[in-house]
Amino acid sequence: MRTIASSIAAIAVVAAILFVPRATYSAEPPYDINVVMGLSGGNTFIGAAQQTSLKVLEDVINKQGGIRGRPVHFNFYDDQTNPQVSVQLTNEVLAKKPQVMIGSNLSAMCRAISPLFKNGPVDYCVSPAIYPEKGAYVFSSSASTKDEIITFVKYFHERGWMRIARLTTTDASGQDADTDFPEALNLPENKGMTTVAAEHFNPSDVTVAAQVARIKAANPQVIIVWAPGTPFGTALRGLKDGGLDNVPLATSGANMTLAQMKQYGGLMPTNLYFAALGYIGGVGSRQMQPAIRTFQEAMKAHNVGIDFMTGMAWDPAMIIISALRALGPEATAEQIHTWIENLHDFGGISGVYDFRDGSQRGLSQKDVLVLRWDDAQGKWIGVSKLGGGL
Beta strands in the chain (DSSP E): 31-37, 72-78, 100-103, 122-125, 138-140, 163-169, 194-201, 222-226, 249-251, 272-277, 344-347, 352-354, 368-374, 379-382
Predicted pLDDT of residue 89: 98
Instruction: Identify the DSSP state of 329.
Output: T
Name the CATH topology of 2-144+284-367.
Rossmann fold (3.40.50)
Question: What is 145-280+368-382's CATH superfamily?
Answer: Response regulator (3.40.50.2300)
Separation of alpha carbons 371 and 383, rounded Å:
5
What Rg, from alpha-carbon coordinates, does the chain have?
A: 21
Separation of alpha carbons 231 and 254, rounded Å:
12
Give the burial class of 376: count Cβ atoms within 10 A of its Cβ; 0-12 exposed, 13-18 middle, 19 or more buried. exposed
* Residue ranges, CATH 3.40.50.2300, the chain: 2-144+284-367, 145-280+368-382
In a structure prediction context, what are the per-residue pLDDT tens digits for the chain, which is 390 residues long? 434 444 444 444 444 444 444 445 556 799 999 999 999 987 788 899 899 999 999 999 999 999 999 999 999 999 999 999 999 999 999 999 999 999 999 888 999 999 999 999 999 999 988 999 999 999 999 999 899 999 999 999 999 999 999 999 998 778 888 999 999 999 999 999 999 999 999 999 999 999 999 999 999 999 999 998 889 999 999 999 999 999 999 998 888 888 888 888 889 898 999 998 978 877 778 899 899 899 999 999 999 988 888 899 999 999 999 999 999 999 999 999 999 999 999 999 999 999 999 999 999 999 999 999 998 888 899 899 888 988
Predicted pLDDT of residue 309: 84
Separation of alpha carbons 150 and 144, rounded Å:
10
Stretch (H or E) spanning 126: none
Separation of alpha carbons 160 and 15, rounded Å:
42
CA atoms within 13 A on the CB side of 337: 19
Query: Cβ neighbours of residue 251 under 8 Å, at least 6 residues apart?
Result: 224, 225, 226, 227, 232, 272, 273, 274
Predicted pLDDT of residue 25: 55
The answer to whether the bond into 104 is cis (omega within 30° of 0) is yes
Separation of alpha carbons 43 and 117, rounded Å:
23
Q: CA angle 380-266-160, nearest 5°?
A: 50
Query: Residue 353 forms beta bridges with which residues?
Result: 346
Separation of alpha carbons 372 and 310, rounded Å:
18
Cα–Cα distance list, 143 to 68, 131, 253, 352, 383 (Å): 30, 11, 11, 11, 18
Query: Cβ neighbours of residue 13 under 8 Å, at least 6 residues apart?
Result: 345, 346
Predicted pLDDT of residue 273: 96
Backbone angles phi, psi at 274, to 5 degrees: -135, 145
Predicted pLDDT of residue 257: 83
Residue type, 289: Q
Instruction: List, for residues 198-235, the tens digit of each pLDDT value.
Output: 999 999 999 999 999 999 999 999 999 999 888 999 99
Predicted pLDDT of residue 258: 86
Query: Cβ neighbours of residue 27 under 8 Å, at least 6 residues apart?
Result: none
Predicted pLDDT of residue 8: 40
3 state SS of 371: strand
In this structure, which long-range contacts are made by residues 281-285, counting pairs with CB atoms below 8 Å and at least 24 apart in sequence?
A: 281/369, 281/371, 281/380, 281/381, 281/382, 282/382, 283/369, 283/382, 283/386, 284/349, 285/347, 285/352
Predicted pLDDT of residue 27: 64
Predicted pLDDT of residue 281: 72
